[in-house]
Amino acid sequence: MRPILPFGERLYRPLEPYAYTLIRVATGAIFVPHGVLKLFFGGAGSALGYGIGVLELAGGLALALGILVRPVALLLILDVLMIIVANIGKGWLWTRGGVQYHTFLLGMLIAVAIGGAGRYALQKSIEARLPPIGYALARVWFALLILPSGYEKVFADGATRIAAGNVLKTGFYPPLFWAWVVALLSA
């Protein structure tokens, strides 16, 4: 297989063996602060919340280290699905409390559940053929999630909204120029 951008092949080939591991470690790392917030900074609110905090903290660490990857990923998939169901009425955009972020996490977890521990893990994967399938799923899933946001930014006046909001708040000038940079990078 050849990369979409052939000039990137020299960079891509040496990094390719680590791509799936990066997905697994990043997925675990994303859950660690969520668990820490629930357990130590008042985010739990109930016994169920503390249980979910333990799952997210311990599960995130287990995924990052490559320990019991498939069972942990399946438990975290249930966690994320519960959050998606609870927030589906808020819409899609994560900035408005919607399910976009959690749908992203769901895709990462499905990819990890398929791929298992992968090559670089404390606990070796049973199936060496599955990490490439998990990696392929992750690439397609992420593209499908990013494309609608990119389309909205480029074709549905999203750059103007970005310029008036986040870019202006961060102090980048001229804001419309930087908004278009963000819009085209996510397209």
Helix H segments across the chain? 9-40, 47-65, 69-87, 100-115, 130-155, 158-162, 168-170, 175-186
Residue 184 lies in a domain: no
Domain limits for position 36: 6-140
Confidence of residue 13 (pLDDT cuts 50, 70, 90): confident
What digits encode the pLDDT tens for the residues 111-167? 999 888 877 776 665 566 677 777 778 778 877 877 776 666 667 676 777 667 777
Q: What is the pLDDT of residue 105?
A: 94
Q: Is the peptide bond before 71 cis (omega within 30 degrees of 0)?
A: no
Percentage of residues in the chain having pLDDT higher than 70: 82
Contact 76, 132 (CB under 8 A): no
- On whether residue 106 sits in a domain, the answer given is yes
Is residue 157 assigned to a domain? Answer: no
* Count of structural domains within the chain: 1
**Res. 36: pLDDT tops 60:** yes
Q: Please report the pLDDT score of residue 128 as a whole number.
A: 63
